[in-house]
Chains A and B, each alone.
Chain A
């Protein structure tokens, strides 16, 4: 592979893990994050390890008015764009903005350009939390549900236009975002697994992936529970 990949939200553990997987395959990597200074050491690490071209660029997904300018400012439209941006807790409006509005608008702008070119892959990191709203995190879950639906529609629209859209539902992942939470070992993935799963999904032209396959089963069961029972469960 001598592709180029743009990672939006690259400072996250999952973002960096994805960068490692693509860089190992000799892809050129653009790391986009709000505080690019924090990523310089990681960029050096990627270059030393894989000898590939790595650039770091400032990007704030919440500044939706600047999305077009950001994309037009890149040296070239990348082959692969991965959106890892996400926020688990916080003020409801910010959680909604960060997990749905801003990523969807950004990928819409990417999609228009890839559609015009006739090639490309768009990867959205969504969440199993979007598969059904639960008391513990329904603001986050509903925004991710919206993002999942957005990616589904985008895939449908671009299927005949040469552009691939992948929805990734990682399940539990051991990251900074989940540090301190008690996560059950067998269904908790390492960031590296997510990175490898994203690379494989792009290479094999997959549509929707759960990083650990058991999550597909778990979420199918959770979706099948009738609402009359579901509302009484503590989830």
Chain B
């Protein structure tokens, strides 16, 4: 049985392994229908195909690194965690990082992931120079902004549907220390939170944890975390030690553990224990607080969970977010892991790249029948406000919302049809959304 990080849906699937370009090419050639898979951290059904799933996790070799420019070339299955382990001590950091380091380079390109610095740095593939792609016809081609440019643009955020990425070259950034200077601020409601995020546009990193169950005057109360890479002279001496301990969630929690009351109580606690202030912390807890709890997805019980992440364009965001939050608070279903963040401009290259200038909201829901109905309503609100949903999180949405939200969809489909006329690269997500 295979599933995404949300444990929903689950399917029986044949898992193939490829180590390196030749094995990837051979696997692609031998199957009529397949989808590549990295570390399985997309939440829904993006890396599932009942016929065959091609795991790239063993394609995990680094190929070249240029100490001058920070250019790293590696196989697609190299994990971000490995890159950080190797290069942070040498003064480099990922140009863009999602909220977990347990993702592969191939997965980061296929989902065109974003991070807390999207408003300044854009999404991950904006830092990618080129990649090698195994196509449906068995060829491996190099794609960049100048070579096979349309295939490059369709593959950045293309959810693995144009081919299988076998290796990639992208640029790391220089950092002066492995620490983050974190500035915490509190916002009493949604309007204040959005204003604070707007004001923090000059911060390198910014993100808000948002209480999606509070209502009335406190609706959307938030804690905003801004961050800068700390400079050596800012570090206390001795610098705080990185806590590398992890705990593993040993089993699926009973579904009833998460309810309106337990989540409200957690939110109250979380809001109070994060007062305004500044602190120097290791990069791990700033970027990857949940990575310390291995298998935290079991918190949502055996039935699994879905993460809903949408973005609303700036002009419609204030009204749209308020409508979304009211609907979520009324349902009592929201989880405590809710995030609000401001996005910068859309990636000019990725045809199906998720971010657009505006605000994005992400939160988890344990799966049950009511949740699925609620998600349909949230989709409608998102669509009505000119927004779209993030395919890397999605497990439930429908083709019409995809079409409304992604204006370059036809361009993408044209490229896909050209390189893969028989839809060899196919996932439950692509089948559900008619991609």
Contacts and interface: CB of A to CB of B under 8 A. Distances in A.
Contact of B61 (A45, A50, A179): A45
B65 A48 contact: yes
Interface string B50-87: 00000000000111110000000000000000100010
Contacts of B63: 41, 44-45, 48
Of A42, A45, A48, A50, chain B has the most CB atoms within 10 Å of the CB of A48
19 contacts: A41-B20, A41-B61, A41-B63, A42-B61, A44-B61, A44-B62, A44-B63, A44-B64, A45-B61, A45-B62, A45-B63, A48-B62, A48-B63, A48-B64, A48-B65, A49-B62, A49-B86, A50-B86, A179-B17
A48 B63 CA distance: 7
Given A45-B63, A48-B65, 16 more contacts: A41-B20, A41-B61, A41-B63, A42-B61, A44-B61, A44-B62, A44-B63, A45-B61, A48-B62, A48-B63, A48-B64, A49-B62, A49-B82, A49-B86, A50-B86, A179-B17
Main secondary structure of the interface of A (DSSP, over half): helix
A42 B78 CA distance: 13
Interface in A172-208: 179
Interface size for chain A: under 10, 10 to 19, 20 to 34, or 35 or more residues?
Answer: under 10
Main secondary structure of the interface of B (DSSP, over half): strand
B94 to A, nearest CB: 16
Nearest to B87: A49
A23 B199 CA distance: 46
Across the A-B interface, the 3 shortest Cβ-Cβ residue pairs? A45-B61, A48-B62, A49-B86
Contacts of A49: 62, 82, 86
Interface residues of B, number: 9
Contacts of B61: 41-42, 44-45
Contacts of B62: 44-45, 48-49
Contacts of B86: 48-50
A26 B106 CA distance: 29
A44 B86 CA distance: 14
A48 B169 CA distance: 14
Interface in A38-92: 41-42, 44-45, 48-50
Nearest to B62: A48
Contacts of A42: 61
A48 B82 CA distance: 12
A179 to B, nearest CB: 8
Nearest to B17: A179
Contacts of A179: 17
Of A45, A49, A179, chain B has the most CB atoms within 10 Å of the CB of A49
A50 B63 CA distance: 12
Nearest to A16: B61
A47 to B, nearest CB: 9
